[in-house]
Structure 1
Amino acid sequence: MGPGQGERDVSAPPYHVVVVGGGIAGLAAAWYLGRDGGGRVRVSVLDGAPRVGGKLSVSEVAGVPVDEGAESMLARRPEGRDLARAAGLGDRLRDPGTLAAGVWSRGELRPMPEGSVMGVPADLAALARSGVLSPAGLARVPLDRVLPATPVTSDVPVAAYIRARLGPEVVERLVEPMLGGVYAGRAEDLSLDATMPRLAAAARTHRSLLEAAQEIRDETPRDAGPVFTALDGGMGTLPPAVAALSGADVRTGAMVRELRRTPTGWRLTVGPTRSPEVVEADAVILAVPAAPASRLLAEDVPGAAAELARIEYSSMAIVTLAYPRAAFPGTLDRSGYLVPPVERRTVKAVTFTTAKWPHLREYDRDLVVVRCSIGRLGEERALQRDDAELVAAAMAELAETSGVRGLPRGTRVTRWGGALPQYAVGHLDRVARIRAAVAAQPGLAVCGAAYDGVGIPACVATARTAAGRVLDHLDPGGEWRHDGRQPQAQGA
């Protein structure tokens, strides 16, 4: 009998599952397969890059380990923290020193209004105090309470709905920079359902968006703890720790060029065209971005391939600068600030990394590390500049907005081409169609940032789902331990 067709002889060789992609989603999938496979699953992870981790990477700037990609993860979703603890990194989880952020608006650095929900204000007094909006823009916001309802019967662009309720300035100066920081995308195109699910749900039951935002804010427990958490040593230390924990055979420099269905499972073609390697698998998990997943599925799952090909990705660069403390006038009491596209500046977001994450000061108390993010969807020309030009743009930004003087002690430019999937209108339906097409193929699953969220916990959650689907195929009786429980810390 083939895989999934009956009870497996415990003396038989273990099932072979191949995970394509060695980012955090693929490595987490390998971990879940190993944990829940009851010793009857052999896992291989194949990645074409020279290292594991995908967009999670850390390197030193002026002697301080600073992340090149994501510097933190949501703390209020358990998947990321639990995986870190399972990988033996629980004692290195760190809380932020401050999350007070700003917005560069109308020629000044102003505080982000307190109580906002993804840029949507929940407190009109705080919005007025911030000064982010013009007097006319501020006067438009409370009309939301008296305007007729804006019907939301299907998915709509974020900008269209919020503009109808609160006016254009809330979109331009609060929501746009927030979405630009998370997705490097634009509110005119992004899906309300996919990027703001709680507000989208409220939009279908509340006439007033202000009241919906207030309700969401009030539902958050006051003792919920910090929104984000980081790792001492960098989030880039998580992937290699998970790779080691998984027990999988992890291969880098192993590009998967072709995936084809066979009578008993799947066949993968790996490596260069002139000397290809064939790998046979009982099941496969694709943990790669949408474009390579589309190419691999084109022959056997054309429906999913076509939908995946429609998911756009944006590119960005992160310029990291390390200054002596004396270069900054005054007190660094903010975690950073966002820059709305309407301001027409090169830098879209700035993080005062050593203020946000105080544990980094232990490396050098006289050093201030700053990360400047550049690039949104449609702004690829800004990224065509060479590294020196991007560094100069970031330095000029800090000089104007924060009064920084002098030269940094260290700089680093990290470019992420095609980094962030764009959750366009209809994204959730598209993902449902992709998963339905994939589910029709026994022993196949997908996971990663293209589906249910771009953050680390969301990616880990998709990995757990993918691993569970594969194990259900290999063991339809459900006797293995793949019940969706969270990973246990080492030694627990």
Structure 2
Amino acid sequence: MTESSSPTSYDVLVVGSDVAALMAALDCARIGLRVVLLATPPAEHRPAVFSHRAGIVASLLTELNIPFSIRERVTVKGHESRSTAGAATGSIVGIPANPFALNVREVLGWRGAWRVYLDRLIPLLTIGTETNLGHIVRRRLGKRAERLLVDPVLQALYGLSAEEIPVATVVPGLNQAMTRAGCLTTGIIDLIVADPRVAQVVEVAGGVGHIETVLRERLAFFSARIIDVADVHLTLIEDGENRPTAFGASAFAPSGPITVVTQAALLPAGEALAAQSPANERVAVVGISEQFPGLESAVPESRSASASIRRVLLSDPTRLPLGPLGHEG
């Protein structure tokens, strides 16, 4: 089928291809809004395991009727001639609660385990102020623990290293737990006691690709238009008094150039139009980003953004009621 180059009108434009963006699009499509998804090329990182923090990913998979399993640790391949290495049982993103746990000793050896134990003896020099996870892990547990325990798990979950991740994005409450407990490893214990799911992971056969396939099928069922594109150019359409009235998007699809016009837009973080229109109630940010690198954080944020867009569109007195708003984030 050849895409038309003349503009086609929709209610909501969604740009992106990750699970969070697809779920935001689905929440709009299933209440009757006309949705067009411009699916950009997927990210290189394609995880098969996800954080079980707060049960968010498991709840999403249950909603989508996708089978999954809960595991106590992440296992990754190829570290220092070992067949596998990874998070110790009773750990969060590879940071162990017990410095002398068997998994810690297997990966780090006794010398490395004793270095981790020093965390219990070294006083906290900064309380609740450190934002970089890599800095915390190196200072408290040592470089070897960062490289062999923490980084492999973060790479498996998020495709990032500890140095690249702010603490609050992957271990919310860690600084406060460290302040209460007096060190990193006992802070981890504090968080696990509060919610054991934070130390577990969700595994899906087929990984993130299978989830995306299911979401695309659901979107097609609700008549959303999905167009795989290589690049997207967005514009803000204004009236004669320079007031924003709609959004325009042009892109190149395999079948040729396409152009669409929509009443609202759900855009990826960093998209210039989203940054230029922070006060526009018909534009919101969705998808995985540096601030929300995992499904456990990106999906709730994206669904909340989608809900705000739906409320704005459905409160328009010129629009007929379409039904219940569904999930409200």
Q: Please indicate, yes or no, whether the TM-score normalized by the shorter chain is above 0.5.
A: yes
Closer/same/farther in 2, CA of residues 72 and 243 from structure 1, 3 Å limit: farther
1:285 aligns with 2:266: yes
Q: Assess, with a 3 A threshold, how the Cα gap between structure 1 residues 175 and 21 changes in structure 2: closer, same or farther.
A: closer
Identity fraction in percent: 23
In structure 1, what is the equivalent of residue 3 of structure 2?
A: none
Alpha-carbon shift at residue 212 of structure 1 (Å)? 0.7
Task: Tell me how far 1:470 sits from its aligned partner.
Answer: 0.9
**Residues 164-173 or 439-448, more deviating:** 164-173
Out of 284, 305, 308, the residue aligned to residue 466 of structure 1 is: 305
Match of 2:154, SS? helix
Q: Secondary structure at the match of 1:132?
A: helix
The whole-number CA distance in structure 2 between the counterparts of 1:171 and 1:98 is: 19
Instruction: Specify whether residues 46 and 100 from structure 1 end up closer, same or farther in structure 2 by C-alpha distance, changes over 3 A only.
Output: closer
Distance 1:153 1:185, change over 3 A: same
The alpha carbon displacement at 1:121 in A equals 1.6
Matched residue type, 2:265? V
Aligned to 2:34, which of 26, 32, 42? 42
2:172 is equivalent to residue 197 of structure 1: yes
Matched with 1:212 is 187
Deviations 1:184-236 (A, max 9, x none): 333334322223324233234332112111222333449x9973142579445
2:210 equivalent to 1:240: no
Corresponding residue for residue 124 of structure 1: 99
Q: Is the 8 A contact 2:29 2:219 kept in 1?
A: no
Aligned residue pairs, count: 308
Structure 2 residue aligned with 1:70: 47
1:441, 1:449 → 2: CA distance? Answer: 21
- Counterpart mapping for 1:248-259 below 5 A: 248-253=224-229, 255-259=231-235
Distance 1:253 1:137, change over 3 A: closer
Q: Which residue of 2 is the match for residue 360 of structure 1?
A: none
Query: Which ranges of structure 2 fall in alignment gaps of 5 or more residues?
Result: 1-8
Change (3 A) 1:80 1:55: farther
Is the 8 Å Cα contact of residues 156 and 192 (structure 1) preserved in structure 2? yes
Root mean square deviation, CA, Å: 3.8
For 1:262, the equivalent position in structure 2 comes to 238
Residues of 2 paired with 1:232 and 1:246: CA distance? Answer: 24
3-state SS, counterpart of residue 267 of structure 1:
strand
TM-score (norm 1): 0.53
Kept after mapping to 2: 8 A contact 1:47/1:255: no
User: Over residues 372-424 of structure 1, what are the superposed CA-to-partner deviations in whole Å (9 max), with x where a residue is unaligned?
Assistant: xxxxxxxxxxxxxxxxxxxxxxxxxxxxxxxxxxxxxxxxxxxxxxxxxxxxx
Query: Residue 308 of structure 2 aligns to which amino acid in structure 1?
Result: R
Q: Determine the C-alpha separation between the residues in 2 that align with 1:24 and 1:226.
A: 20
Contact 2:74 2:153 in 1 (8 A): no
The letter for the 2-side match of 1:466 is A
The runs of 5 or more residues in structure 1 that have no matched partner are 1-13, 57-67, 305-436, 487-492
Asked which structure has the greater CA Rg, the reply is 1
- Look up the match of 1:482: 325
State the Cα distance separating 1:126 from its structure 2 match. Answer: 0.9
Residues 18, 100 of structure 1: alpha-carbon distance in 2 compared, 3 angstrom cutoff: closer
> CA offsets per residue over residues 1-53 of structure 1, 9 Å max, x none?
xxxxxxxxxxxxx97222123433332122111334xx4x322222355xxxx
Deviations 1:443-466 (A, max 9, x none): 101100015533344433233112
Q: 1:205 to 1:484 in 2, by over 3 A?
A: farther
> Is contact 2:12–2:264 with CA below 8 Å preserved after alignment?
yes
Is 1:170 the counterpart of 2:170? The answer is no
Write the distance in 2 (CA, Å) between the matches of 1:199 and 1:225: 13
Report the CA distance between 1:109 and its aligned residue. 4.4
Q: Is the 8 A contact 1:33 1:467 kept in 2?
A: yes
